Chain A
Amino acid sequence: MRVGIPRSLLYYKYLPFWKTFLTEIGLEVETSPLTNKQILSWGVEVAENELCVPVKAFYGHCMALRGRVDAIFVPRVVSVEEREYTCPKFLGLPDMIGAVADNLGLPPLLTPRLNQREKPSEFKWQLINFAREEFGLGRLEAAMALESARRAQRRYHDSLVAGRRPLDLLPASRLNRPRWRPAGKGTRRVGLLGHPYNLYDGYITQNLIARLEEAGVELVVPEMTDQHVLMEAATDVPKQLYWTYEKEIMGAINHWTEQKKVDGVIYVLAFACGPDSLVQVLIEHRAREHKVPLMSLTIDEHSGEAGLVTRIEAFVDMLMRKKPAVSAA
Chain B
Amino acid sequence: MNALTGSGRARPGTGIKVTTPHMGNLHLLLEDLFGRLGVEYIKPPLSSTKTLQIGVKHSPEFACLPLKINLGNFIQALEKGANTIAMAGGHGPCRFGYYGIVEERILRDLGYDFRFVMLEPFGDGPWTFYKTFESLAPGLSIPSLWKILKVSFAKGRAIDRLGRRSLQVRAYEVNRGDTTRALKEAEKILAQAGTTEEIREAEAAAVAVIEGVEQDPERDVLKVGIVGEFFLLLEPFSNFDLEEALGHMGVYLERCVWVTDWIAPRKDNKIFGYPKKLIEEKAAPFLSQNVGGEGRETIGNTVMFAERGFDGVIQLLPFGCMPENIASSILPKVQQVHDIPVQTLAFDEQTGKAGMVTRVEAFMDLLWARRNGRLISVPRRGKKPEAACGGCQRAGTA
A contact set with B: CB distance below 8 Å:
45, 47-51, 76, 78, 83-89, 91-92, 95-96, 98-100, 113, 237-239, 241-243, 271-275, 277-282, 285, 298
Contact = CB atoms under 8 A, between A and B. Distances in A.
B391 to A, nearest CB: 7
B95 A274 contact: yes
Contacts of B333: 98-100
Contact of B97 (A47, A99, A242, A271): A242
Contacts of A98: 286, 333
Interface of B: 60-64, 67, 89, 91-95, 97-102, 104-106, 109, 118, 286-293, 295, 319-323, 325-326, 328-330, 332-333, 346, 383-384, 387, 391, 394
Contact of A88 (B100, B292, B328, B346): B292
A271 B62 contact: yes
A278 B93 contact: no
Given A91-B93, A92-B329, 10 more contacts: A89-B322, A95-B286, A96-B329, A96-B330, A100-B332, A238-B104, A277-B95, A278-B67, A278-B99, A279-B98
A48 B101 contact: no
Pairs A-B, 10 closest by C-beta atoms? A92-B326, A242-B92, A85-B93, A99-B333, A88-B322, A274-B322, A272-B320, A96-B329, A99-B330, A92-B291
B329 A278 contact: no
Q: Which of B62, B104, B106, B330 has the most CB of A within 10 A?
A: B62
A50 B286 contact: no
A104 B132 CA distance: 52
A86 B289 CA distance: 13
A281 B60 contact: yes
Contacts of A271: 62
B287 A92 contact: yes
Nearest to B62: A277
Given A88-B93, A277-B60, A99 B286 contact: yes
A278 B322 contact: no
Secondary structure dominating the interface of A: mixed
Contact of A50 (B61, B95, B319): B319
A253 to B, nearest CB: 14
A198 B66 CA distance: 27
B95 to A, nearest CB: 5
8 contacts: A49-B387, A50-B319, A51-B329, A89-B322, A92-B326, A239-B100, A274-B322, A277-B61
B109 A49 contact: no
A91 B329 contact: no
Contacts of A48: 325, 328-329
Contacts of B94: 88, 274
B1 to A, nearest CB: 35
B380 to A, nearest CB: 9
A95 B330 contact: yes
A90 to B, nearest CB: 9
Contacts of A243: 92-93
B326 A78 contact: no
Q: Which of B64, B104, B293, B320 has the most CB of A within 10 A?
A: B320
A239 B326 contact: no
A49 B63 contact: no
A238 B87 CA distance: 14
Nearest to A285: B105
A89 B326 contact: yes
A76 B91 contact: no
A95 B291 CA distance: 11
Nearest to A88: B322
Contact of B394 (A49, A92, A100, A279): A49
Q: Which of B93, B291, B293, B333 has the most CB of A within 10 A?
A: B93
Nearest to A44: B384
A275 B95 contact: yes
A221 B95 CA distance: 26
A198 to B, nearest CB: 15
Contact of B98 (A49, A50, A241, A298): A241
A91 B62 CA distance: 21
Given A241-B98, A278-B98, A285 B109 contact: yes
